[in-house]
Amino acid sequence: FPCERWLAKSEDDGQTIRELVPSDIFTEKLLKDGTLKQIEEEVEDPLEVHTYKISVFTGDIYGAGTDANVFLNIYGDLGDMGERKLSKSETNFNKFERGQEDTFTIEAVDLGILYKIKIRHDNSMFSPDWFLEKVEILDETTEESFVFLCERWLSKKKEDKKTERTLYEQVHKARSLVPVKYETIVVTGFEKGAGTDANVFITIYGLNGDSGRRALKQKFRNLFERGKTNRFYLETLDMGELKKVRIEHDNSGLAPGWLVERVEI
């Protein structure tokens, strides 16, 4: 696995992680006279190392920026790159400030078609709370672009108090896929105590993939009350024939218990 690159914050591109691909395979064969013969072969069709340009967009709302350390892992149909720290922004001295776009370049073995990312922060420093708008990734080798919407807090104090998000690809520009809007109806049962105060999430699964975990929320409305029907519109890529849904809540609020009568999509 040849490298010939620095792993140093003060050298080269400042990265301390390298992904290496094999160039040669060495095998040993036992000959009849009892000696070992070493055979060297070149690797056929080795994986390529691709360059990924990552643009991180912080929301333009009060307190959106973070001082914490941010980490990212990208997943494709050929594997994932492992978690990497987003250390030095190429566009701003102070990264992840309110309303700002920060750009990073990462090299990794070809991940194929990107379908999800995991992004988190370590809740460090004085102002760790972060409102992440979206992440855009350009595979500079293939010129394919991928968009991952968030529009949520990564915070120990706000929303669902999570500092990590798994985001799924929303618009694959290279394939010109058109987003589909799914009308989602949730009916709460009539029994006493059927309603919930907790935050509710849904994942829709189809032949072409899944929607990712989505929060079911509306501004200024009490949702999931006893005997009530709530309607939502979720936009995602066409998932084909639907196979199942997963509905869950985070057990928050004074009365989290919930009797679900049915879900319609």
The reply to whether 252 and 167 lie within a common domain is: no
The reply to whether 170 and 186 lie within a common domain is: no
Distance CA 17, CA 87 (A): 12
Distance CA 10, CA 17 (A): 13
Q: Which of 174, 192, 220 is the last residue of a domain?
A: 174
> Mean pLDDT of residues grouped by 10 in the chain (265 residues)?
86 82 78 80 75 96 95 88 91 95 93 91 94 95 90 92 89 54 94 93 84 84 92 85 90 93 95
Q: How far is CA 94 from CA 10, 224, 240, in A?
A: 18, 42, 43
Instruction: Write out the residue range of the structural domain in which residue 196 sits.
Output: 179-264
CATH number at residue 126: 2.60.60.20
Cα dihedral 118/121/122/128 (nearest 10): -160
> Has residue 141 been placed in a domain?
yes
Can you give the pTM of this predicted structure?
Answer: 0.58
Number of domains in the chain: 2
Determine how β-strand 164-172 pairs with β-strand 144-154.
Answer: antiparallel
Q: Which of 153, 174, 195 is the last residue of a domain?
A: 174
The reply to whether 134 and 184 lie within a common domain is: no
The reply to whether 186 and 256 lie within a common domain is: yes
The reply to whether 56 and 159 lie within a common domain is: yes
3-class DSSP state of 173: helix
The reply to whether 155 and 64 lie within a common domain is: yes
